[in-house]
Amino acid sequence: MKAKKSPLMPEHSIPIIAIVGRPNVGKSSLFNRLIRKRLAVTHEQAGTTRDRIYFQIDMDGIPAILVDTGGLEYGKKENIEADIQSQARIAMNEADLILFVVDVAEGLTANDYEAANLLRKSGKNIVFIANKCDHPGMEENVHEMTSLGFGEPLKVSAIHKIGIEELRETLAETLKKTGWKKQQERAERKENAVHICFIGIPNAGKSSLVNAILGKEKLIVSEVAGTTRDATDTEVTYNEQKYNLIDTAGLRRRGKIAPGLEKLSALRSLEAIERTDVVCLILDYQRGIRKQDLHISSYAQDAKKGLLLIVNKSDLMKDAEAERNRFVRVLRHRFDFLPWVPVLFVSALKNKNTGKILELAHQIYRERFKQINHDELEGFLKEVTHRHIPPKTTITTPKIYAMEQTGINPPAFTFLVNDERAFHFSYRRYLENEIRKKYDFTGTGIRMIYKNKFPKKELKKK
């Protein structure tokens, strides 16, 4: 089906791609192939998708969120038809691009026709996919699929990795035709406002903090966990700088998010993280640091956003200095993978230190646009590689020929090397730590890109 250009772009800034189809057509297997990881639960028994159902992927430079809608089913349905209609409606409401999957081995069922009718009415862009195309007698069944009205389907086999790269190319091309921009093009656009997203486990005090910053009850605040279902944007000006505060629904650990509405809320929170500059992870001093907090922080870390750890309810401390020091020691130990992230203690209830949130967020925002000139980086590279030579591996002796800064917001550094496979994780971490030690970049994620100087087929010769 041809991509439809809409006169108005969606309200969110990252496309959502939903995989739709009746149970057991291979949605989760296709999901895993497209993200190149085995995250979704797959089983021959229908309806097994109960684990993580969304993942941020890259489509030829365009970031997108892929959703396996099988995991959005909730409650007991009377029949499969009700399930597929529920999935299709969710996709129609939330997605910008829909992957409609049918089973070429089993052939079409009444539920496939019902789903097709719903999807046609949605007006959304549909990529029609015939899965399990490695099955004997495929061609005859593929011809039958055209009766759904979406033309000839893309023939794939998620299990045997047939047609997956062609599918990825089709998705990237469809996104480009509908106006979605590559990451680099999006990063170059500067806006007047600093976008700050507040995330955390339910009832950590996110909405209360936003209210304290605003100085008014703009948002609903409740002691009942899970009050905020959608991301809420509020603009505020502080010290002549504009900010956009994004309050989100509480995020739980991946795989522990309840089915149905809460999963959709988590999806919107991920989208809110994508369109923000600085993520504020709210920690509850009273409840301490939980595994969920560590998992939630990975969303911002994966997206290479600015990050600020905010400890709320600090008014409950009896001996402020001693308890603050103890908490920081525990925090730095638990978040040992984020030594570059600032920590701020606040109290939404007492409106204490809430103004510093904006000040720190603005500092982090400026770090995201910092640029280091080429000559400076050449000297830096010589210094750090002389101090610590890349260790030999079974592949080859690692060599770095040059480095340069290739992006901002987030800062990105590209290393031209002889073979990127030869660089151990520990040495990559060493280089990032040295960059931060020399040039700061406090509070912001940075991208470290290793690129082979010579084409892969020439690597052995070199």
Q: How does DSSP assign 127-181, residue by residue?
A: EEEEE-TTSTTHHHHHHHHGGGSS-SPEE-BTTTTBSHHHHHHHHHHHHHHTTPP
Domain end, chosen from 127, 152, 184, is at 184
Across residues 116-143, what is the average pLDDT?
A: 84
What per-residue confidence (pLDDT) applies to 88? 54
pLDDT-derived band at 235 (thresholds 50, 70, 90) equals confident
Are the beta carbons of 22 and 112 closer than 8 angstroms? yes
Instruction: Tell me the CA distances in angstroms from 127 to 114, 151, 167, 324, 397, one per residue in order.
Output: 17, 10, 9, 53, 45
Please give the average per-residue pLDDT across 54-79, as a whole number: 67
Task: Answer with the residue of higher pLDDT: 264 or 167.
Answer: 167
Q: How far is CA 287 from CA 2, 108, 125, 205, 350, in A?
A: 52, 52, 45, 12, 18
Q: Classify residue 70: in a domain, yes or no.
A: yes
Q: How confident is the model at residue 266 (pLDDT cuts 50, 70, 90)?
A: low
pLDDT bracket for residue 12 (50, 70, 90): low
- The CATH number of the domain holding residue 308 is 3.40.50.300
Spatial separation of the C-alpha atoms in residues 267 and 230, rounded to whole Å: 10
Q: What is the pLDDT of residue 15?
A: 84
pLDDT on residue 432 = 95
Do 197 and 174 lie in a common domain? Answer: no
9 domain residue, yes or no: no
One domain, residues 38 and 175: yes
Mean pLDDT over 2-19 rounds to 61
Mean pLDDT for the stretch of residues 144-160: 90
Find all residues with CB under 8 Å of 240, minimum gap 6, and list them.
Answer: none
Residue 1 located in a structural domain: no
In this prediction, residue 297 carries a pLDDT of 85
Instruction: Supply the pLDDT for residue 396.
Output: 86
Question: Do 144 and 250 share a structural domain?
Answer: no
- pLDDT over 60 (residue 41): no
pLDDT band for position 216 (50/70/90)? low
Query: What CA–CA distance (Å, rounded) separates 248 from 269?
Result: 6
393/343 same-domain check: no
The dihedrals phi and psi of 262, each to the nearest 5 degrees, come to -65, -35
Among candidate residues 385, 380, 310, the one with its CA nearest the CA of residue 343 = 310
Phi, psi of 329 (to 5 degrees): -60, -45
Name the residue range of residue 453's domain: 374-458
- The H-or-E segment that residue 16 falls in is strand 16-20
* Contact assessment for residue 82 and residue 111, using Cβ atoms and an 8 Å cutoff: no
- Is residue 37 scored above 90 in pLDDT? no
Same-domain status, 62 and 134: yes
Q: What is the mean pLDDT of residues 338-363?
A: 93
Q: Do the bridges between strand 62-68 and strand 194-199 make them parallel or antiparallel, or are there none, so unpaired?
A: unpaired
Rounded Cα gap, residues 335 and 294, in angstroms: 7
CATH of the domain at 394: 3.30.300.20
More confident residue, 95 or 154: 154
Q: Return the minimum-mean-pLDDT range out of 88-92, 126-130, 373-377, 427-431.
A: 88-92
176 and 95 assigned to the same domain: yes
Q: Is 117 part of any domain?
A: yes
Which of 67-76, 161-170, 316-325 shows the lowest mean pLDDT across its residues?
67-76
Task: Examine the pLDDT at 296 and tell me if it is beyond 50.
Answer: yes
Q: Is residue 289 part of a domain?
A: yes
Which of residues 338, 367, 396 is at a domain's end?
367
Judge whether 10 lies within some domain: no
The pLDDT of residue 437: 95
The domain tally of the chain equals 3
Return all residues near 382 (Cβ < 8 A) that are at least 6 apart. none
Residues 174 and 221 occupy one common structural domain? no
**Domain membership flag for residue 407:** yes
**Cα–Cα distance, 309 to 198 (Å, whole number):** 10
Cα angle 348-349-353, degrees, rounded to a multiple of 5: 45
Residues 264 and 409 in one domain: no
Q: Is this model's pTM higher than 0.85 or not?
A: no
pLDDT of residue 10: 40
- For residues 224 and 359, membership in a common domain is answered with yes
* Domain match, 218 and 300 both: yes
Q: Is residue 6 part of a domain?
A: no
Domain-ending residue, one of 335, 367, 399: 367
Confidence of residue 254 (pLDDT cuts 50, 70, 90): very low
Res. 260: pLDDT tops 50: no
239 and 133 co-located in one domain: no
User: Are 307 and 204 part of one and the same domain?
Assistant: yes
Q: Among 36-40, 54-58, 242-246, name the most confident range.
A: 242-246
